[in-house]
Structure 1
Amino acid sequence: MYLTRIDPDEKMYRFYRLEIVPGLFGDWGLVREWGRIGRGGRMRTDWYDSEDDAKGARFDLQMRKSKRGYG
């Protein structure tokens, strides 16, 4: 999932990427990458016991980001 927030008046060109990946030991990771469009971003992976937990966390993050103007 790739979200962007663009506001030329504020010179804001941001992205937020969310991806669910399987782990080596039956766990699931939610990979988040964020930063300025056109540049390398920061990355973080949070691990969950099940795919459903990872999907729930992704949905929560998506809702929080949409409230802040990402779409």
Structure 2
Amino acid sequence: MKDLHPVHLRRIDPSQNMRRFYSISLQPTLFGGASLVRDWGRIGTRGQSMIETFDTPIEASDAMTRLERRKRRRGYLDPQVSRSGRRE
């Protein structure tokens, strides 16, 4: 399995009263596969979780990469970077 670290993203837009987080990580399964674990919700709340299991770690890491790319296109950023591109 590629050494993918957990991804933590957030999307903050005061004009829409939006303060959301999205986390993605990979977990190995007991049978040689991998699970993609997603957590999301409003910042400051517990949010929701979903676990999707794949037969191979490569499939799981590909799904993680696609999901991260999709969230970034929708405006989610790394927590330490503001909209202007400066670190907070």
- The TM-score range, normalised by the shorter chain, is over 0.9
Q: Alignment partner of 1:57: what SS?
A: helix
Give the count of matched residue pairs: 71
CA distance in 2, matches of 1:67, 1:45: 22
Q: Do residues 41 (structure 1) and 47 (structure 2) align? A: yes
Q: Any gaps of 5 or more consecutive residues in structure 2?
A: 1-6, 78-88
Which residue does 2:58 correspond to in 1?
52
Gaps of 5+ in 1: none
Larger radius of gyration: 2
Higher-strand-fraction structure: 1
Q: Percent identity?
A: 44
The aligned counterpart of 1:64 is: 70
Amino acid of the structure 2 residue aligned with 1:26: G
After TM superposition, which residue ranges in structure 1, 4 or more long, deviate above 6 angstroms?
A: none
Superimposed CA distance per residue, residues 4-59 of structure 1 (whole angstroms, 9 cap, x where no aligned partner): 00011111000000000001121100000100001011100001111111110001
